[in-house]
Structure 1
Amino acid sequence: MRLSPKVRDRLAPWLLTLLVLVCWEAICQGFSIQPFLMPAPTLIFKVGMELAGPIMEHATHTLMTTLLGFAVAVAVGALLGMLVGSSPIIYKALYPMLVGFNSIPKVAFVPVLVVWFGIGTVPAILTAFLISFFPVVVNVAAGLSTLEPELEDVLRSLGASKLDILIKVGLPRSMPFFFASLKVAITLAFVGSVMSETVASNVGIGYLMMSASSSMNMPLVFAGLFVIGVMGVVMYEIFARLERRITGWANRGQNAAH
């Protein structure tokens, strides 16, 4: 039976994931790899089911922390992106500073945040924010910069102010860039929150993984990694669906091609 392209596209990621897991299991069983080095997927699943309650508690905390940091990153990043993209002077003044700031490893900020705010949720939220706001800034600014000067001249000749051009033309034109940045930023936010939880928290998936690794409980460590991966994929897919629904007009040529 020949599958339709739509069904085939939906099954492809699931089949590839299943293939990877089967190969992983076969390698662990075939070479008798010890669980403290590389646990098999079946063992990871078993440990995950046995400790499903604690894992879900830590995962829920990590998810809430990530979403809070991500929300702040979107708000600040969109505002800075509008300022950078709509004003050449602000671009020249602010962009080098933003690039330099983004070049600093965010793990270096965690000890500073611990000194300022103590161990707990706040450093994780701020780390998620610090690591994820830059893609939003860059993409919003890039979207606004695609507005042709000739179009701006025509709109001004018709009586539109600079604010009118920004709100009615610039922002809609930057929506595809904005939603593309959200898909990148949400995955980075998970990296930031988990990274902070490993060194500056007593709750969360990062803390759970560090506690498990200290006792060589590698199946639990990998269970935590799987949970983070699943949450990242789900959030990415949510924003991908929003992107297709809200900015489908920008991709109708691609959709037609498929």
Structure 2
Amino acid sequence: MSNTVYNVQRYVSFSADEFISMLTTSAFVALVLSMRDLFFVRFGDAESIRAALLVFVLVLLMLIVTVWICKIVAVRLGYTVRYREHLVGLIVGAILSFASAGYLPIFIPGGFNFVEPERLHMGKFHGLHRGWEVGLIAGTFPLAMLAGVFVFNPLYLATQGEFFLTAILAACLFAIYACIPIPMLDHSHKGGRPGDLFKYLHGSTFGLDVFFASGAWYIVLSSAVIFFALISWLLIVLSIEAGIGIAIAVYIVSLVIGVLSLFVYDRFFKK
């Protein structure tokens, strides 16, 4: 128990580079989510700027908590992870969002750099021998983001506040976009050994980490995440008051949909 606490204290802390990465991601996400008010409706008045700053703080807190949860999962599995932003994806997303007049908020959440610290090393890593652990750690990010819906949904129902509505939208978009498999855009993986999984995944997104580790897990995760996010948002759009019971039911149904998606893939598409 004491060893676990020591590992959590040592390896779950955030480095300066990680915090800068989270600040960068949060700034772009806040810009994308607030773009319509900032540039197309109220055009940068004091109220829209204040709202954008509140969204920035909200997104930063959500990102810190989510990455922290992933770090704990990683430590328990014998790894340490470092969050880093996907700057190209953030810039391209902001441009596309501006082109859609703010109606289509797009961003790429980033990903993890994986390390096996010496104190946590459980044996030499060969290829995909323990790839499922990498997939589980990366998959924790969208699942933890969706857990935010359980937190913000009751607050939105109680207050009908736009702030909590934005929080739910941010959580859903983070979860969906985190499932997009985007490879590294540089050549940092070249020169690595064929079995060096971490070298090949360096610079990739959460979605590619999951997909590379396990195609089956990727299908289940992405299908469940997309279904849950869309249904959660649809309930809000239709003004249907969904309490915690309905939210849990939708969560369970989403997992079932994910498993069924895997069955359909294996039955009709896998060769």
TM-score tier (shorter): 0.3 to 0.5
Q: Would you tell me which structure has more helix in proportion to its own residues?
A: 1
Normalised by the length of structure 1, the TM-score is 0.32
Compute the TM-score of the two structures, normalised by the length of structure 2: 0.31
